[in-house]
């Protein structure tokens, strides 16, 4: 699955788990690899292997990142989880109109995230200091965005969806059942990306 995704998006590298890291550990390894190899230049993007990117993903991503209002970008706005955030997300979706972005104070999913390269070493240091090595990675990154006061700009529409398949890891860290499909609110292309934003209230 990971290698097919890598071919589809022309990924620069693929980091697969040998079974010893788990989802959270492999995410941490991916961000560390980017901190070590990106040299603080440009954008660093991590996609999970069950991400379903739109066609012409790289072109659309480049156009979006050229006008993003934040150095932290969510490429997937989740529709079912976390449940506590869905009312606020729904209110923003109603107001979004033709805006290209919905901004929020935190990440709610790690299916697809882009972070400006010069911030990635700080993210990695934050993840390294986290005593809970099993904390879901979206929560760990959210703790970093909140601690640094950085809004997360979610692309509207999402540029990736989430394949609704059984997780690779048999036991989920959060032990929460997945009884509803994991999907984005809306997925697709835009004729034009702008910096117009709807802030989540």
pLDDT digits (tens, 9 = 90+) for 178-191: 556 678 999 999 99
Do residues 69 and 101 lie in contact, with contact meaning Cβ atoms separated by under 8 Å?
yes
Q: How many CA atoms lie within 13 A of 8 on its CB side?
A: 15
Examine the pLDDT at 99 and tell me if it is beyond 50: yes
Q: Residue 10: how many CB atoms within 10 A of its CB? A: 8
Sign for the CA dihedral angle at 68, 59, 88, 182 comes to negative
Tokens of 38: 């990106």
Fold of 2-199: Spore Coat Polysaccharide Biosynthesis Protein SpsA; Chain A (3.90.550)
Examine the pLDDT at 19 and tell me if it is beyond 80: no
pLDDT in tens, 31-54: 999 999 886 779 999 999 889 999
**What is the model's pTM?**
0.89
């Amino acid at each position: 699955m990971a290698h097919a995704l890598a071919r589809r998006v022309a990924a620069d590298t693929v980091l697969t788990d040998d079974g010893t890291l788990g989802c959270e550990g492999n995410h941490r390894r991916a961000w560390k690899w980017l901190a070590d190899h990106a040299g603080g230049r440009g954008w660093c993007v991590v996609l999970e292997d069950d991400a379903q990117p739109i066609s012409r993903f790289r072109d659309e991503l480049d156009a979006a990142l050229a006008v993003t209002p934040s150095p932290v970008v969510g490429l997937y706005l989740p529709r079912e989880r976390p449940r506590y955030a869905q009312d606020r997300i729904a209110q923003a979706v109603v107001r979004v109109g033709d805006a290209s972005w919905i901004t929020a104070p935190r990440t709610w999913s790690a299916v697809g995230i882009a972070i400006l390269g010069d911030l990635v070493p700080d993210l990695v240091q934050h993840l390294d200091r986290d005593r809970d090595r099993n904390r879901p990675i979206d929560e760990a990154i959210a703790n970093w965005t909140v601690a640094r006061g950085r809004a997360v700009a979610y692309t509207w529409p999402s540029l990736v969806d989430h394949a609704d398949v059984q997780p690779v890891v048999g036991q989920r860290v959060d032990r929460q059942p997945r009884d509803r499909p994991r999907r984005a609110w809306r997925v697709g292309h835009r004729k034009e990306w702008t910096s117009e934003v709807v802030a989540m209230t």
